[in-house]
Structure 1
Amino acid sequence: MKTVVIAGATGYLGSYLVAHYKQLGWAVRALVRNEASARTKGLDATEFFEGEATKPNSMIGLMEDADLVVSALGITRQKDGLTYRDVDYKANKNLLDLAVENSVPQFAYIHVLNATKLRNVQLVRAKQHFVETLQAAPIKSTVISPSGYFSDLEEFLDMAKSGRVYVFGSGEYRINPIHGADLAAACYEIIDAGQAFAEVGGPVKYTHNELAEIAFKSLNKKAKVTHLPNWISVAAQRAFETFTSVKTYGPIQFFLCVMRMDMIGKSYGKMRLEDHFAHVLEKETQNNA
């Protein structure tokens, strides 16, 4: 039985990766901070390894007899005093160094689509630095760049709940987001095929206008969409970068930048955003009952 080490196992994609690899008969060793907490969240790994990727000494033994490492490790919002460089670069570099030291055959990393166009975005810069380090390392590597997760686009649903959705420019920029389960399956296929790099998206391409319409339709509300000039987005980004700390502006900078470009990857999976929004609303109704 092959063994995969999954870092970032308790995150959105990580939990799907754990489930998918285990379903396919792999022994899944999940790197977690706290096993009890991970189990409470429903994570069903073969083995839990308590450690922190930011602390190399806490990971001694993690890579023993491993055939593959998959890292979905990263932060969107800086917390616990950790920076993007601390986690997205240094923590992943610690994992990579340990994998090389233990002669693990392959290392796969979950990146960001269009990263080379987003080098000045704080949230992406550290990730791209790690990718360059990984690709130069003496290990077989796979870099997978998703277009965006369904969960990211719940922001449109939240705006629709408030009565109005705001989009930049004409609203014709496109994205083909992907569900975590579909992305986990795509990752397995790409890694198993030994691809060095892949840009991944879901089965349907949506314009931002269509995202707004789907959100309102999910709520059975009339669509109310306001188009903001792109210069407002640029000005807002510069203001946040000037007057707030990177801890505050990091996620905002990333969001504003990706909303001003197409985010299209190769199509994988079957799940549609409409069904995800319906599931989210059904769950909210059950929780409020």
Structure 2
Amino acid sequence: MHVLVAGATGYLGRALCTAYARHEHHVTALVRDASRAEGLADVLVVAEATRRETLAGVMDGIDLVVSALGITRQADGLGYREVDYGANLNLLREAERAGVGRFAYVHVLRADRMAEVPLVAAKTAFVTAMHASDMPATVIAPTGYFSDMGDIFTMARAGRVWLFGDGSARLNPIDGADLAEAVVDATAAGRGWVEIGGPDVMTQDEIARAAFAALGRPARITHLPDALRRAALVVLPLLPRRIGGPARFFLTALGLDMVAPRHGKRRLTDHFASLAAGGTST
């Protein structure tokens, strides 16, 4: 099978390229900068997904498109509507033209509880467009990535972790490689919607304690009133988009249980141990 991965140089995109290649599929990586993609896939295609004309013909002969394309931290002036919605819509339209067999998209868990967050609103708008298309589609809704837990580890390394509320909100983040394998399984099975989490459900407090344990330090956790988080969400829309956008998403998600069916074998405690030994969170 010929698979095209969009957003291929990101945390999940790289894992998707590796996973589909491991399952003996021919992988095409859609990238903006070839210098960041050496050895990533059988074929590299350089294009700007926000400009549909650059996508012309790139999906001819492709059986499956998997898009992990989106903004996490804005750096180039583009907004969520242009990328998470518009660029993915361009991909979908080109896939329709090329007769691609299936389009898979990485969404976010509990999007219905975060509808006011611009990032999530843009993703949800694209999912709506997918469902209006005649093309078979798979929507992947992960809980969050191990890389997202890097901020907690960084705070622990600095000596104290600050949490909003009592730290009882639960989540089961997943390693990128495990998530990629679950995506391969979901697309192979032709599933329409799949929610995916990691093997361990932990409270925010337990995650903080695991970070301190990996560092061999006593846990020092300060619980801030959750009213401060809610107050920040009121103020953030007034800040520049590149600052307020990511913060609105992360602060909203922190107030929710983010738990999905368990997948994978890689454990967050081992990830923290790797970081403590000098590894990276990406």
Which residue does the alignment assign to 2:48? Answer: 52
Shift of 1:56: 1.1
Are 2:17 and 1:18 equivalent residues in the alignment?
Answer: yes
TM-score, structure 1 length as denominator?
A: 0.94
SS in 1 for 2:200: coil
2:15 counterpart letter in structure 1: Y
Are 2:271 and 1:272 equivalent residues in the alignment?
Answer: no
Shift of 1:76: 1.1
Shift of 1:125: 0.8
Are 2:77 and 1:81 equivalent residues in the alignment?
Answer: yes
Shift of 1:25: 0.8
Which residue does the alignment assign to 2:125? Answer: 129
SS in 1 for 2:278: helix
Shift of 1:232: 0.8
Per-residue CA deviations over 1:174-200 (Å, capped at 9, x if unaligned) read: 000000000000001111111100110
Shift of 1:35: 2.0
Which residue does the alignment assign to 1:143? Answer: 139
Alignment partners' CA distance in 1, 2:279 and 2:117 = 33
Once the two structures are superposed, the pairs formed by residues 176-255 of structure 1 within 5 Å of their partners are: 176-242=172-238, 244-255=239-250
Which residue does the alignment assign to 2:254? Answer: 259
Q: Which range is displaced more, 247-256 or 2-11?
A: 247-256
Which residue does the alignment assign to 1:93? Answer: 89
SS in 2 for 1:283: coil
1:167 counterpart letter in structure 2: L
Which residue does the alignment assign to 1:27? Answer: 26
Per-residue CA deviations over 1:2-30 (Å, capped at 9, x if unaligned) read: 10010000000000000110111110010
Identical counterparts, % of pairs = 45
Alignment partners' CA distance in 2, 1:117 and 1:221 = 36
2:223 counterpart letter in structure 1: H
104, 112, 134: which one aligns with 2:100: 104
Alignment partners' CA distance in 1, 2:75 and 2:158 = 28
Alignment partners' CA distance in 1, 2:197 and 2:61 = 32
Q: Which runs of 4+ in 1 moved over 6 A?
A: none
Shift of 1:55: 1.2
1:14 counterpart letter in structure 2: G
Once the two structures are superposed, the pairs formed by residues 163-174 of structure 1 within 5 Å of their partners are: 163-174=159-170
SS in 1 for 2:108: coil
Alignment partners' CA distance in 1, 2:269 and 2:254 = 20
Which residue does the alignment assign to 1:283? Answer: 278
2:192 counterpart letter in structure 1: A
CA separation of 1:284/1:110 partners in 2, compared to 1, >3 Å: closer, same or farther?
A: closer
RMSD in angstroms over aligned alpha carbons?
1.2
Alignment partners' CA distance in 2, 1:261 and 1:179 = 20
Q: Are 1:156 and 1:215, in contact at CA under 8 Å, matched by a contact in 2? A: yes
Q: Are 1:122 and 1:246, in contact at CA under 8 Å, matched by a contact in 2? A: no
Which residue does the alignment assign to 2:157? Answer: 161
Per-residue CA deviations over 1:182-236 (Å, capped at 9, x if unaligned) read: 0000001111111100110000001011011001111111101111111111112
1:254 counterpart letter in structure 2: F
Q: Are 2:57 and 2:98, in contact at CA under 8 Å, matched by a contact in 1? A: no
TM-score, structure 2 length as denominator?
A: 0.97
Alignment partners' CA distance in 1, 2:84 and 2:155 = 29
Shift of 1:36: 2.9
1:31 counterpart letter in structure 2: L
CA separation of 1:19/1:284 partners in 2, compared to 1, >3 Å: closer, same or farther?
A: closer
Alignment partners' CA distance in 1, 2:140 and 2:279 = 32
